[in-house]
Amino acid sequence: MALRGNLRDFTITQLLNLINLARKTGTLIVEGPSETAQVSFRDGKLAYAQIGREDGGLASILYKANKLSAGQYRAIQQRAGSISDKELGLLLINAGYVTQEDILTNLQQHFTDIVQRLFTWVEGFFRFENDQLPPEDRINVRLDLENLIIEGSRQLREWEQLQDEIPSLDMALKFTDRPDANLRKVNLSVEEWRVVSYINPKNTIRQIANATKMNDLEIRRIVYGLLQAGLVEICRPEGAPAPPPARMFPTENKDEQKSLVNRLINRIRSL
Amino acid sequence: MQTVKMVVTGPFNAGKTEFIRSVSEIDVVSTERKISSALERTVKEATTVAMDFGRITVDEDLVLYLFGTPGQKRFDFMWEILSEGMLGFIVLVDSTRPETFREARSILETFRAYAPTPYVVAANKQDKKDAWELEDMRLALRLDSKVKFLPCVATDRDSVKTVLLELLYSILAEMEGGEK
């Protein structure tokens, strides 16, 4: 029977475990809430991964990992045309821009990142296409799944905890009024500083994540740290359109509303 | 007949049903079911699965409804429905179970995201010997000093009245502040 179903019934961890134990070859296609991921395996080992419309090409991966400069990346895009990743990899190695190890390490990291993002998906449909392999022109890796599964399970627990702490990314952040909270005395990482620079009640956490190119897990991790340190607090975004006006009061008249609240106060007092 | 509503929320076994029962003039319409999880059953036998519902008649024209949310996370799809059109909400926290503080914080943030209505946080079971002190709880819950954080004993009518009144004062203050 075809391997297909719903992530609510069968989690990514269970799927990877099954693929690992059955030494499957093929591609797992996961349709998540907002994008689709394709992860390919050979004999139960991770070979390749692609998510949504992200550019999963070798040049893009090496550029993001700072192995290629912006100029080199631009030049490759303009001149390399339809050259395959395998050919591009050889060219870059021969030109001395990168080593074979650079290529493999960064590809492995990129594919691992994609799989770990999948661990946070709890909604969606999956299907496993037996014997469907990644495009010919892409470089494949061979990564054992055991470590990925263990790391993914750890991340899932962290993700659940972070979701409890920061349930909505549509809220904003503001600095606390605590007089002893001084950002200059705190050792922040570059990533944390990037987030801090966008903190403003007008920016939602989601907008900050987009501006700093962080995924949900990364932004939640940083915001959680800032919250725990008492440097920021969550607030409703300023200037955001008000939520649909659910009728709180049976009347629109302000004086009548006030009178109604006063009647409630008197009644509760008399209980 | 005019009706308004307030929501009482908080983690599992925080005392929401008791809170409503203490002031409701009708027997609380409670949708309790026997608990299936062995772990949760060690805390109590039955829990609210959809909502609790209490009523206070103010006068012949006005009725206040109190809705209690189910505390277990798997029933959180009910929260947004219950929060629609509420005057304000109360987050009840069990002072004797610090392991629920993080969840209480999460529930508070979730409700704040639903609607910009006033709220108060009440530390229930303050009569228990192992209850945390209010100031420690405020820090653990990371509540801003401006947030009203009140001691409470959900089985005591006067205590529940104080919490409800504080929420109503906040609602009134916000209405008056909004006019400036």
Overall average pLDDT of the B148-174 stretch:
96
d(CA A122, CA B88): 32
Which residue of B112, B156, B160, B167 to mutate against A (max A Cβ within 10 Å)? B112
**Token pair of B86, please?**
């509420």
ipTM: 0.85
Q: B129 vs chain A: nearest CA distance in angstroms? A: 28
Q: Which residue of A has its CA nearest to B170?
A: A261
Write the CA distances from A103 to A91, A115, A265, integer angstroms: 12, 18, 70
Give the confidence band of B74 by pLDDT, cuts at 50, 70, 90: low
Task: Give me the residue spans of the domains in chain A.
Answer: 3-164, 172-235
**Token pair of B104, please?**
């209480």
**Token pair of B99, please?**
């392991």
Judged by a CB distance cut-off of 8 A, whether residue A6 touches chain B is no
Yes or no, beta carbons of B157 and A271 under 8 Å apart: yes
**Contact residues on chain B for A250, CB-CB shorter than 8 A:** 2-4
Give pLDDT tens digits for A162-218: 888 888 888 889 888 765 556 666 778 888 888 988 888 889 999 999 888 888 888
Domain that holds residue B35: 2-179
Yes or no, beta carbons of A263 and B175 under 8 Å apart: no
**Contact residues on chain A for B164, CB-CB shorter than 8 A:** 268
Q: State pTM to two decimals.
A: 0.59
**A132-136, A141-145, B53-57, B112-116: range with highest mean pLDDT:** A141-145
Structure letter (DSSP) for residue A203: S
Interface of B with A in 112-151 (CB under 8 A): 112-117, 142, 144
Give the confidence band of A40 by pLDDT, cuts at 50, 70, 90: very high
**Token pair of B151, please?**
């001691």
pLDDT score of B165: 97
Is residue B58 a contact partner of residue B64, using CB atoms and an 8 Å limit? yes
Yes or no, beta carbons of A164 and B103 under 8 Å apart: yes
Q: A10 vs chain B: nearest CA distance in angstroms? A: 17
Picking from A42-56, B34-48, B93-107, which range would have the lowest pLDDT averaged per residue?
Answer: B34-48
Give the confidence band of A240 by pLDDT, cuts at 50, 70, 90: low
Yes or no, beta carbons of B116 and A243 under 8 Å apart: yes
Q: Which residue of A has its CA nearest to B165?
A: A265
Picking from A226-230, B84-88, B91-95, B173-177, which range would have the lowest pLDDT averaged per residue?
Answer: A226-230
Is residue B133 a contact partner of residue B98, using CB atoms and an 8 Å limit? no
Give the confidence band of B40 by pLDDT, cuts at 50, 70, 90: low
Give the confidence band of A255 by pLDDT, cuts at 50, 70, 90: confident
pLDDT score of A253: 82
Judged by a CB distance cut-off of 8 A, whether residue A157 touches chain B is no
Place of tokens 């228990």: B128
d(CA B29, CA B54): 7
Candidates B84, B102, B161; nearest CB to A164: B102
pLDDT of B107 above 80: yes
pLDDT score of A248: 81
pLDDT score of A183: 62
**Contact residues on chain B for A249, CB-CB shorter than 8 A:** 4, 87
3-state secondary structure of A3: strand
pLDDT of B95 above 60: yes
Yes or no, beta carbons of B2 and A165 under 8 Å apart: no
Show the beta-strand stretches assigned E in A108-177: 125-130, 172-175
Task: Look over chain A and give the mean of its residue pLDDT values, rounded to a whole number.
Answer: 85
First to last CA, chain B: 31
pLDDT score of A231: 83
Strands B29-34 and B46-59: antiparallel
In order, the DSSP letters of A18-29 are HHHHTT--EEEE
pLDDT score of B38: 59
Q: B168 vs chain A: nearest CA distance in angstroms? A: 7
Is residue A256 a contact partner of residue B53, using CB atoms and an 8 Å limit? no
d(CA B28, CA A140): 63
Give the confidence band of A252 by pLDDT, cuts at 50, 70, 90: confident
Percent of chain A's residues with pLDDT above 70 = 92
Yes or no, beta carbons of B172 and A258 under 8 Å apart: yes
pLDDT score of A64: 84
Please give the tally of structural domains in chain B.
Answer: 1
Is residue B151 a contact partner of residue B157, using CB atoms and an 8 Å limit? no
d(CA A63, CA A237): 34
Q: CA-based angle A206:A208:A213, to the nearest 5?
A: 95
**Contact residues on chain B for A264, CB-CB shorter than 8 A:** 4, 58, 62, 64, 168
**Contact residues on chain B for A220, CB-CB shorter than 8 A:** none
Which residue of A264, A266, A267, A269 to mutate against B (max B Cβ within 10 Å)? A264
The CATH number of the domain holding residue B77 is 3.40.50.300
Higher local confidence (pLDDT), A113 or B120: B120
Which residue of B73, B89, B164 to mutate against A (max A Cβ within 10 Å)? B164
Task: Look over chain B and give the mean of its residue pLDDT values, rounded to a whole number.
Answer: 85
What HEC string does chain B produce?
CEEEEEEEECCCCCCHHHHHHHHCCCCCEEEEEECCCHHHHCCCCEEEEEEEEEEEEEECCEEEEEEECCCCHHHCHHHHHHHCCCCEEEEEEECCCHHHHHHHHHHHHHHHHHCCCCEEEEEECCCCCCCCCHHHHHHHCCCCCCCCEEECCCCCHHHHHHHHHHHHHHHHHHHHHHHC
Give the confidence band of A250 by pLDDT, cuts at 50, 70, 90: confident
Which residue of A260, A262, A269 to mutate against B (max B Cβ within 10 Å)? A260
